[in-house]
Structure 1
Amino acid sequence: MNAYLTNGTIDFLIKLSSKYPAIKFHYMSGPSNDVAYYEGTSQKVFQAGRDYEVIVQSGELQDTGFVVMNNIPIIDEGRPLFEDNFKKRRKDVDNQAGFQALRLLKPARGNTYIVLTQWDSAASYEKWKDSEGFKMAHAETKPPAYFADRPFVITYRMIEKDES
């Protein structure tokens, strides 16, 4: 399955729904930008968007909630190992209260993967970060050798179309 992501003003992004009614867009607002995301189709509608392959998925994306995108740059030689390790992950997050969805997005271009998790609220995400499951899932003390750079996190809140 493919996934597509682009930035823009929320007013501009929401107009995509009327232009492409067959596509289920998810709209998000973050501290410095707004985002439109969709998946499941090969139809590319973003001229300046980013394309991904969904490597791992769990849960269904909702129209409401809190989204965390962990951006992880991976060296080319490390991609297979990173993907394999992720597929073998402990699935503690999937059973965490407030968890809605998870996607591991492999970039079509570039080297930055995205681990997208969606929660019913920021509070649920914070509880996950304080949990034993989180500590076990992130137990490594130093970054793996296949990290090309330091990962970074961007958070968003979901925006429903009629909210804008």
Structure 2
Amino acid sequence: MKNIYITTGTEHFLRQILNDHPSDNILLLQNYNQSLLLQESSDPTVFKEESTYHLLQNRGEIKGSGSVVFEYIMVRDEEIPLFLKLYQNLSVHFNETAGLQCIQLGQSLKNNKFIIIMFWDNASDYPLWKKTPHYQEIVKVMESNNTQIGFSHTDIYHFPEFTHDAK
């Protein structure tokens, strides 16, 4: 069983973790507010404090550049099958989505929260995708079913372009 582990902190502190674990599959991502580390592993994480998600689906390859969108979705127990079916129906279109490198679906081990992590070639691709019929279909299904499924929030990060805190 593969998991997705996420932890946040200062760039300097997170780079120390990267330096201490160079052989682990850990990515450093940043935005204007914070930095985070993302680890995908079947083994226990090296992080001391993390959010953990069971990796349900992984499609595509991460290039190590571009932007990364984290969509956090809260789902009631009885709506989990509906959400998973909706995601599965939508996932057939991911290969034809311009600019999408990789997409991962994870389910929290602690509550009814799902995470969709999308790796994009550049920051302008995600807003364009939100205007597509496929994305609008998700919103329409949620509204028509009077469902409580909903995006609790979205965070956008990018891969660091340079190391300015390499102490």
TM bucket, shorter chain? 0.7 to 0.9
Alpha carbons 2:130, 2:136 under 8 Å: kept = yes
Corresponding residue for residue 107 of structure 2: 106
Query: What is the RMSD of the two structures over their aligned residues, measured on CA atoms?
Result: 2.3
Identify unmatched segments of 5+ residues in structure 1.
none
Corresponding residue for residue 38 of structure 2: 37
CA distance in 1 between counterparts of 2:22 and 2:89 reads: 37
Alpha carbons 1:79, 1:146 under 8 Å: kept = no
Q: What are the residue-to-residue correspondences of 1:30-109 with 2, within 5 Å?
A: 30-109=31-110
Corresponding residue for residue 128 of structure 1: 129
Deviation of residue 111 (structure 1)? Answer: 2.4
Cα deviations across residues 128-148 of structure 1 (Å, max 9, x unaligned)?
22233333343336275342x
Deviation of residue 47 (structure 1)? Answer: 1.3
Deviation of residue 24 (structure 1)? Answer: 1.8
Alpha carbons 2:8, 2:37 under 8 Å: kept = yes
Alpha carbons 1:93, 1:128 under 8 Å: kept = no
CA distance in 2 between counterparts of 1:163 and 1:110 reads: 37
1:56 corresponds to which letter in structure 2? Q
Alpha carbons 1:4, 1:51 under 8 Å: kept = yes
Q: Does residue 11 in structure 1 map to residue 8 in structure 2?
A: no
Residue-pair matches, total: 163
% identity of equivalent residues: 23
CA distance in 1 between counterparts of 2:162 and 2:53 reads: 24
User: TM-score when scaled to structure 2?
Assistant: 0.84
